[in-house]
Chain A
Amino acid sequence: MRNVLTIAGRELRSYFVSPIAYVVLTGFLLLGGWFFFNLLARFNLLLTIYSAQQNPQILQRLNLNEFVIAPLLHNLSVVLVILVPVITMRTLAEEKKAGTYELLLTSPLRISEIVLGKFLGSFVFVAIMVALSGVYPLILFAYGNPETGVVLAGYLGLLLLATSFVAVGILTSSFTENQIIAAVSCLVSLLLLYIIAWPADNAGETIGALLRYVSLTEHFAQMVKGVIDSKDLVYFTTVIVLALFLAHRSVESIRWR
Chain B
Amino acid sequence: MLEVRNLTKRYGDIVAVRDVSFSAAQGQILGFLGPNGAGKTTTMRILTGFLPATSGTAKVAGFDVFTESAEVRRRIGYLPESPPLYGEMTTESYLRFVARIKGMPKAAIEDAIERVVKLCGLEAVHDRLLGHLSKGFRQRVGLAQALIHDPPVLVLDEPTIGLDPRQIIEIRSLIGRLAGQRTVILSTHILPEVSQICEKVVIINEGRVVLEQDMAALTRGQSLEDIFLHAIAKESPEAAGVSSEQQG
Contacts and interface: CB of A to CB of B under 8 A. Distances in A.
Interface string B61-92: 00000000011011010101111111111000
Contact of A102 (B50, B70, B103): B50
A98 B87 CA distance: 9
B49 interface: yes
A168 B88 CA distance: 25
Nearest 4 pairs of A and B residues by beta carbon: A103-B84, A100-B84, A106-B48, A108-B74
B124 interface: no
A196 interface: no
Contacts of A14: 86, 88-89
A7 B101 CA distance: 8
Contact of B84 (A6, A7, A99): A99
A95 to B, nearest CB: 9
A102 B86 CA distance: 12
Interface of B is mostly: loop
Contact of B73 (A2, A107, A256): A107
Given A6-B97, A14-B88, A18-B88, A103 B73 contact: no
A60 B81 CA distance: 70
30 contacts: A3-B101, A6-B100, A6-B101, A7-B101, A10-B86, A10-B89, A14-B89, A18-B88, A98-B85, A99-B84, A100-B85, A101-B84, A102-B45, A102-B50, A103-B78, A103-B98, A103-B145, A104-B101, A105-B50, A106-B49, A106-B73, A106-B78, A107-B98, A107-B101, A108-B70, A108-B73, A108-B101, A108-B103, A254-B50, A256-B52
B51 interface: yes
Contact of B76 (A98, A100, A104, A106): A106
Contacts of B88: 14, 17-18
B102 interface: yes
Contacts of B82: 99
A106 B70 CA distance: 9
A2 B84 contact: no
A109 B50 CA distance: 12
A231 interface: no
A3 B70 contact: no
Interface in A1-57: 2-3, 6-7, 10, 14, 17-18
A82 to B, nearest CB: 24
Given A98-B86, A109-B101, 15 more contacts: A3-B100, A3-B101, A6-B101, A10-B89, A98-B84, A98-B85, A98-B87, A99-B83, A102-B45, A102-B78, A103-B80, A107-B98, A107-B101, A107-B103, A254-B50
